[in-house]
């Protein structure tokens, strides 16, 4: 009986040693957290293509570690980090004009969020899926995706973001009632005490600061035709980006806000303001011109070609500049669609 007890103890000891082995250290997890936080922060103000390459390298390293063995809590954190890397790659793919690739990254990020049982990552992933869809021809689907994201989003910037995406999507497809209702939910979310969100704490692209909130509000009110409110919020967003720290200055959001100012200038019959805003968009270097700028400029081009706006020489000159705008993709600058 003593021999049986000894053998049983040795087997348990061997299994305990097996369980205690891990291919990842606390220092490595801290390094990955730091790297993703740095990339998320640099993303809003640095050129996209070098960051894309670095993101792929980080994601691959995380995938390789997950194929090995680590403690359950470490596996959870690795899945969260890998999902976050895929989430950032989804944004980058969309910015390069590859929405199908972006949604593939979203699916992998969603699976990682499930493996990590991470509500914050689930919410950010669902919100990003809605955002990608909003910029596509299937933008009505984005409203359904925002409903799912809203059920997941914890209090704080994640919940504010989902409401803002819903408000802009509804305004874009002409559902004024739903857009205003989403704006009210956004206002309520701004007043809530924020919950702990590991994704949001990475910052940068994975945050929704006041400047970005104002940019969205400006876009929503522009789409709703409430141009005084639109001008107020758009101007506040641009001023915040210009006066804030360089690492928080989102060149993409700032340029899109300038395009809203062009639209406001057109409808308020102020071509000088529209021309000034357009000059800021044209001054953005080609390697910073994300695909959404091409989409927004194409929409603006269609607006300026409306029959009721023909005959205005100043607007005609704006239309000529907008029509030739070129944006970024993986191969460099290409004509906007």
Q: What is the pLDDT of residues 238-289, one digit of tens each?
A: 999 999 888 788 999 999 999 999 999 999 989 899 999 999 999 999 888 9
Is 169 or 196 the better-scoring residue by pLDDT?
169
**Domains of the chain, with CATH numbers?**
29-208 (1.25.40.10)
Give 209's DSSP letter.
-
The residue with tokens 């995706």 is 145
pTM: 0.89
What's the angle, vertex CA 335, arms to CA 329 and CA 141, rounded to 5?
65
Average pLDDT for the chain: 90
Give the lowest-confidence range in 14-18, 60-64, 214-218. Answer: 14-18
Is 325 or 153 the better-scoring residue by pLDDT?
153
The residue with tokens 């914890």 is 154
Helices (H), the chain: 2-20, 26-43, 48-66, 72-95, 99-116, 119-134, 140-152, 157-172, 176-191, 210-224, 227-243, 251-267, 271-283, 291-304, 313-323
- Strand-pairing partners, residue 327, are 334
pLDDT confidence of 336, banded at 50, 70, 90? very low
Helix or strand or coil: residue 69?
coil
Q: What is the pLDDT of residues 90-117, one digit of tens each?
A: 999 999 989 999 999 999 999 999 999 9
Q: What does the block give as tokens for 109?
A: 């990020």
Helix (H) / strand (E) containing 333: strand 332-335
């Amino acid at each position: 009986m003593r021999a049986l007890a000894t053998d049983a103890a040795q087997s348990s000891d061997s299994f305990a040693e097996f369980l205690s082995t891990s291919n990842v250290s606390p220092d490595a997890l801290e390094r990955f957290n730091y790297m993703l936080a740095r990339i998320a922060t640099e993303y809003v103000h640095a050129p996209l293509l070098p960051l894309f390459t670095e993101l792929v390298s980080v994601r691959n390293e995380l995938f390789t570690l997950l194929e090995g063995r680590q403690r359950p809590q470490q596996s959870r954190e690795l899945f969260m980090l890998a999902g976050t890397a895929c989430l950032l790659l989804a944004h980058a793919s969309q910015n390069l004009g590859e929405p199908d690739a972006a949604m593939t990254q979203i699916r992998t990020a969603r699976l990682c969020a499930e493996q990590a049982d991470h509500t914050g990552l689930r919410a950010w992933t669902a919100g990003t899926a809605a955002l990608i869809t909003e910029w596509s021809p299937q933008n009505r689907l984005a409203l359904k995706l925002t409903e799912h994201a809203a059920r997941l989003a914890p209090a704080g910037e994640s919940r504010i973001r989902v409401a803002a995406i819903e408000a802009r999507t509804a305004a874009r497809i002409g559902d004024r009632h739903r857009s205003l209702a989403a704006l009210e939910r956004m206002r309520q979310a701004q007043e809530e005490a924020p919950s702990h969100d590991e994704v949001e704490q990475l910052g940068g692209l994975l945050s929704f600061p006041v400047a970005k909130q104002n940019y969205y509000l400006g876009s929503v009110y522009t789409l709703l035709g409430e141009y005084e409110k639109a001008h107020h919020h758009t101007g506040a967003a641009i001023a915040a980006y210009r006066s804030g720290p360089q690492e928080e200055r989102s060149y993409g959001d700032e340029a899109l806000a300038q395009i809203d100012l062009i639209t406001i200038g057109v409808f308020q019959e102020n071509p000088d303001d529209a021309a000034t805003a357009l000059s800021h968009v044209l001054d953005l270097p080609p390697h910073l011109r994300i695909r959404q700028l091409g989409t927004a400029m194409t929409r603006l081009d269609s607006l300026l070609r409306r029959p009721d706006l023909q005959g205005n020489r100043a607007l005609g000159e704006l239309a000529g500049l907008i029509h030739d705008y070129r944006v970024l993709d993986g191969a460099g600058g290409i004509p906007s669609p």
